[in-house]
Structure 1
Amino acid sequence: MSNIKQEPLVSVVIATYNMGQYLPQAVESILSQTWKNLEIIVVDDGSEDDTPKVMKQFSGNEKVHYIGNKNQGQPKAKNCGVRNAKGDFIAFCDADDLWEPYKLAKQMPLFNNLRTGVVYSEVSHIDEHNSRYEKPPAYARHRGKVTEQLLYKNFVPFGTAVIRRQCVLQNGMFDEEFRMGIDWDLWLRYSLDWEFDYVPDKTYVYREWSGQMSTNYRGRYDHAFRILKKFSSRHQGRLDKQSLKRAWADMHIGKGNIIARQEGTVKEPLASILKGISLSPGYWYGWKSLAKLALRRP
Structure 2
Amino acid sequence: MNNERPLVSIMIPTYNQPDFLPEAVDSALAQTYPNLEIIIADDRSTDEACREVLAAYADTPRVRVCRNETNLGRVANYQKTLYERARGEWVLNLDGDDYFVDPTFIEQAVRLAQAHPEVVMISGVFVDRSPEDRLKPSKANSGPERIYSAAEAFEAMLEGGYFPFHGSTLYRRETAVRIGFYQHDIISADLESLLRLMLTGHAASLPCEAMVRRRHGGNVSSAISVPDFLDDTITFSAPLRAGSAMEAKVDKSFVRDWVARYTFRKGKDNAYKILKNNRSNAGYFAYVREIVRCTPKSGVRILLQPKNILKVLRNLLGHA
Provide the residue aligned with 2:318 in structure 1.
none
Summarize the alignment of residues 18-37 of structure 1 with structure 2, pairs less than 5 Å apart: 18-37=16-35
Which residue is equivalent to 1:68? 67
Aligned to 1:38: 36
- Distance in 2 between residues matched to 1:115 and 1:138, nearest whole Å: 21
Q: CA deviation at 1:195?
A: 1.5
Post-superposition shift, 1:227?
4.2
Tell me the CA shift for residue 31 of structure 1. Answer: 0.5
Distance in 1 (CA, whole Å) between partners of 2:157 and 2:229 is 14
Q: Quick check: 1:94 aligned with 2:95? A: yes
Counterpart of 1:108?
Answer: 110
What's the counterpart of residue 202 of structure 2?
A: 195
The corresponding residue for 2:233 is 225
CA contact (8 A) 1:125 1:135 kept: yes
Map 1:1-298 → 2, pairs under 5 A: 6-49=4-47, 50-69=49-68, 70-82=70-82, 83-100=84-101, 101-111=103-113, 112-126=115-129, 131=133, 133-137=135-139, 143-146=148-151, 148-149=154-155, 155-175=163-183, 177-213=184-220, 214-229=222-237, 232-235=240-243, 239-240=252-253, 241-250=256-265, 252-264=267-279, 269=284, 279-280=296-297, 286=302, 290-294=305-309, 296=311, 298=314
> What is the TM-score with the length of structure 2 in the denominator?
0.76
The Cα of 1:118 is off from its aligned counterpart by 0.7
Given that 1:270 and 1:290 are in contact with CA atoms closer than 8 Å, whether structure 2 keeps it comes out as: no
Output the CA distance in 2 between the equivalents of 1:133 and 1:246: 30
Local SS of the residue matching 1:34: coil
- Verify the 8 A CA contact 1:270 1:293 in the aligned structure 2: no
| TM-score between both structures, scaled by the size of structure 1 | 0.81
Q: CA deviation at 1:148?
A: 4.4
- RMSD between aligned residues: 3.7
Q: Does the CA-based 8 Å contact 2:236-2:259 persist in structure 1?
A: no
Residues in 1 aligned to 2:171 and 2:267: alpha-carbon distance in whole angstroms: 31
* Residue 123 (structure 1) shift: 1.3
Mean CA deviation greater in 18-27 or 180-189: 180-189
CA distance in 2, matches of 1:125, 1:265: 28
Identity %: 20
Instruction: Decide whether aligned partners of structure 1 residues 271 and 71 sit closer, same or farther in structure 2, where only a CA change above 3 A counts.
Output: closer
The alpha-carbon deviation at position 203 of structure 1 amounts to 0.9
Residue type of the partner of 1:92? N
- Checking the alignment, whether the CA contact within 8 Å between 1:120 and 1:157 is kept in structure 2 is yes
Unpaired runs of 5+ residues, structure 1, are none
Cα distance, 1:138 vs structure 2: 7.7
1:217 shift after superposition: 5.0
User: Cα distance 1:67–1:197, how it changes in 2: closer, same or farther (>3 A)?
Assistant: same
Tell me, what secondary structure is at the counterpart of 1:253? helix
Q: Distance in 2 between matches of 1:138 and 1:223?
A: 26
Distance (Å, rounded) in 2 between the aligned partners of 1:190 and 1:13: 18
CA distance in structure 2 between the partners assigned to 1:268 and 1:79 by the alignment: 30
User: Any gaps of 5 or more consecutive residues in structure 2?
Assistant: 315-320
Retained in 2: the 8 A contact 1:181–1:220?
A: no
Return closer, same or farther for 1:258/1:174 CA change in 2, 3 Å cut-off: same
1:93/1:268 CA distance change after superposition, 3 Å: closer
Question: Do the aligned partners of 2:127 and 2:213 also contact (CA within 8 Å) in 1?
Answer: yes
Q: How many residues align?
A: 290
Measured in 2, the distance between the counterparts of 1:258 and 1:174 equals 25
Shift of 1:255: 3.5
User: Does structure 2 conserve the Cα–Cα contact (< 8 Å) formed by 1:151 and 1:244?
Assistant: no
The letter of the residue matching 2:5 is: E
Contact 2:125 2:141 in 1 (8 A): no
Q: Is the 8 A contact 1:148 1:243 kept in 2?
A: yes
* 1:47 shift after superposition: 0.5
CA distance in 2, matches of 1:295, 1:105: 51
How far off is 1:212 after superposition? 3.1
